[in-house]
Structure 1
Amino acid sequence: MGFLICACLLQLLFLCSPRVAAQSQPLSPARILDAMLQDYAYRAFVRPRTGIVYNATLPGNLAGIAVSALRLRSGSLRRKGFAEYFEFGIPTGVIVQPYVERVVLVYHNLRNWSDYYYPLPGYTYLSPVLGLLVYDAANLSAVGLEELSIVASGSPISVSFSNVRAVPPGGPAPRCVWFDLDGVPQFQDLEATNVCSTYRRGHFSIVVNSSEIAPAPAPSGTVVPPIPTAGGRAKGSSKTWKIAVSVVGAAIALGLLASLMLCLVRYKRDKKLEVMERNAEVGETLRMAQVGRTQAPVALGTRTQPVIENEYAA
């Protein structure tokens, strides 16, 4: 029984350890930026109204980036879509996963920060990186929210880029690039001139695999902005919740390890006692004798008679 308990504790320890390690992995600069822009986008909802685009105000260290927020009902988004949300054309049939009553569509235009947050070796950006992320609109004071997924069940979402740099004559054909939340790029052909399509949320741009095109000028002071602090807007902060879960997970793992060590010590002690009891059962049986009112074991006669030592004995 003790061995089974030890085995269960050991299995729980192995299951908990990878999760704690995964939660402790550092965030990439792009994910830190997403969290900051979500915070500033929600701050733009001074008097929130459904279906109205609100432009966010960013600090000086993010100069050049444009962020906007649009709140919609999930049912309205699926039935009606949203024809022109800057460069994004959202058709009907877009489904939010997991389902929430209202969503906020946060728009990003990274402009001259595109190369820094989404480096793509061997490629040159012909247009800025544009982002479309979706969040739950239940609490417009929340920061550090997890992104929701959207799936275009019918026609794809179109991305019509403007001010696209021209490719030199004879150069390679430009292509669309899509970055998921982990920053992994996927390439596809353009749907039309300067138009890309997607069925999911993420970041998008047009690139060309050519060293002949001069790269866009890098922004001054490429300093990664810090993770946004909640301050007085700490309600629903999932980043704080993740840290707390990591600490609790580490404490649970240490507790399981201590319980496992205690279990092993007890198991060895019980096995030792079991061996001693088994040896006692197969040993010599003592004769019982009446001592007062109780029965008590007494040893049999000694095997060797005692001899008094005497220096005069022969």
Structure 2
Amino acid sequence: MGFLLFDRRSLTMLLILSELIFWLPNLKSEETLDSLLQDYAFRAFVRPKTGIVYNGSVPSNLTGIKISALRLRSGSLWARGVETYNEFEIPKGIIVEPYVERIVLVYQNLANWSASYYSLTGYTHLVPVLGLLAYDASNLSAKNLPELFIRSSGEKPISIRFQNVGLVPDGSVAMCVWFDLQGRVNFSNVELGNTCLVSQQGHFSIVANYTDVRQIRTKNSKATWLIVGSVLGGVVLVVVMVLVVMWIRKYMVKKKMGRMEREAEVGEALSMKSVGNVKAPSAMGTRTQPAIEHDYVP
């Protein structure tokens, strides 16, 4: 029984370890992801030729990410640049530090993994994160290579033309974002609606600040409620004024009726007599009898 218990525990631990190993790339940092993608990009070189783009494959647990590799001479990169490398346009005058004879430019498209590795609080990605990293090409079987430092000499920047840029939320502004190799985040303006201009290698995207959108919606909501409150307040005031006027009129009528009743009670009542089928008030008999003013009778 003890052996079986030990065996079950061992089997459980083995299953847990296998799961961790299988999903390990998902738990790694950006730097380790770059090393992993560098390894798989270099595997795409079969009988490599300079200046040809080779598309690589990624592990099944990173499905969606696209990678490719391009081998170049440093001198050629300086003199001619690269007219088109997927979304990147690399001008001439690129400096490579430290200098090596040949370099490999590894391209990354993180697709649905963009927010997992390069999330920004308060921002949403409008396009996938794209990476451009340079490595020494002297050993195409090497792993965990350090990145070379490439930068534009200043004559013309590196251009990134993103495809299928998402809609910018109302009230927000699209911004280019650049994640450098030191982990710093830099922002710049979007050119022509889908283009970012950069001077160095790294990871790039277009983002929008959705915090501003929430603030604008909150302000609009407050303004709406203020208008609604003002309108309702005005309506209530009008209703109150109408009721007051009606009460005053009713009070005045009631007061007038009371006065008339009091005057009627003080005055002399008239008797009612029938004239045919109609009853009408009738005055009492004359109180003062007529008298002749003079005794002279003609």
Letter in 2 for 1:113: W
Matched residue, 2:161: 160
Length-normalised TM-score, structure 1? 0.58
Residue 173 in structure 1 maps to residue 166 in structure 2: no
In structure 2, how many angstroms separate the alpha carbons of the residues matched to 1:67 and 1:112?
Answer: 14
RCO higher in structure (CA 8 A, sep ≥6): 1
Secondary structure at 2:36 match in 1: helix
Matched residue, 1:268: none
Matched residue, 2:92: 92
Question: What pairs with 1:1-314 in structure 2 (closer than 5 Å)?
Answer: 29-153=29-153, 154-168=155-169, 170-211=170-211
In structure 2, how many angstroms separate the alpha carbons of the residues matched to 1:120 and 1:70?
Answer: 30
Verify the 8 A CA contact 1:29 1:117 in the aligned structure 2.
yes
Length-normalised TM-score, structure 2? 0.61
Greater share of helix: 2
In structure 1, how many angstroms separate the alpha carbons of the residues matched to 2:111 and 2:41?
Answer: 17
In structure 2, how many angstroms separate the alpha carbons of the residues matched to 1:67 and 1:188?
Answer: 25
Q: 1:28, CA displacement in angstroms?
A: 5.9
Q: 1:191, CA displacement in angstroms?
A: 2.5
Verify the 8 A CA contact 1:118 1:183 in the aligned structure 2.
no
In structure 2, how many angstroms separate the alpha carbons of the residues matched to 1:93 and 1:105?
Answer: 16
**Which stretch of structure 1 is more off in the superposition, 191-200 or 109-118?**
191-200
5+ residue gaps in structure 1? 1-26, 214-314
Secondary structure at 2:50 match in 1: coil
Verify the 8 A CA contact 2:172 2:212 in the aligned structure 1.
no
In structure 1, how many angstroms separate the alpha carbons of the residues matched to 2:208 and 2:103?
Answer: 34
Q: Deviations over 1:140-198 (max 9, x none)?
A: 01000000001111200001000110113x32110000001133211111122110011
In structure 1, how many angstroms separate the alpha carbons of the residues matched to 2:87 and 2:65?
Answer: 15
Structure 1: 4+ residue segments shifted above 6 A: none
Verify the 8 A CA contact 1:161 1:194 in the aligned structure 2.
yes
In structure 2, how many angstroms separate the alpha carbons of the residues matched to 1:212 and 1:121?
Answer: 12
5+ residue gaps in structure 2? 1-26, 214-298
